[in-house]
Amino acid sequence: MHSISDILRRKGADIWSTAPDETVLEAISRMAEHGVGALLVMQGDQLVGLLSERDYTRKVILKGLRSRDTAVEAVMSSPVLTISPDATVRQGLAMMTDKYVRHLPVTDDSGVIGVVSIGDLVKAVIEEQATVIEHLERYITG
């Protein structure tokens, strides 16, 4: 079984973030620039929230707020659910399913070390299943 740290090693540990006082428009532009669906909201080295596309649609668009006038801190999700790098992929998927989230910051004693998405974890499960199937097919065909 893959661990969360295995996923970070393969995908890289790039961390894209925004500050709580930046505008939502600046944050959404950064998401588009980096091709991600969420940004960590950091106050210095401290993780204070998460801003996702879901937050944007539900807390800005549907409420009629203006992206260029709204601060990230007004619509970010907080507190943030995090996961340990030692957790398994299945534990990560269970957390995401239980809490209806699509992104998990990965933290250790030093702070945030990466982010995994539900897509990252589903991809790992599919790859693992393909490997098991391949081994079983080789075993059966001898």
Cis peptide before 79 (omega within 30 of 0): yes
Of the candidates 127, 131, 136, the one whose C-alpha atom is nearest the C-alpha of residue 6 is 127
Q: What is the pLDDT of residue 1?
A: 58
pTM beyond 0.75: the answer is: yes
Separation of alpha carbons 5 and 2, rounded Å: 8
Backbone angles phi, psi at 141, to 5 degrees: -80, -10
Encode pLDDT of 98-122 as tens digits.
999 999 999 999 999 999 999 999 9
Average model confidence (pLDDT) for the chain?
92
Look at residue 131 and tell me whether its pLDDT is greater than 90: no
Look at residue 65 and tell me whether its pLDDT is greater than 80: yes
Helix (H) or strand (E) holding 120: helix 118-141
> Residue 18 — very low, low, confident or very high, per pLDDT cuts 50/70/90?
very high
Look at residue 46 and tell me whether its pLDDT is greater than 90: yes
Q: Are 42 and 63 in contact (CB under 8 A)?
A: no
Relative to beta strand 103-108, strand 111-117 is antiparallel
CATH architecture of the domain with residue range 4-141: Roll (3.10)
Separation of alpha carbons 93 and 36, rounded Å: 19
Residue spans of the domains in the chain: they are 4-141
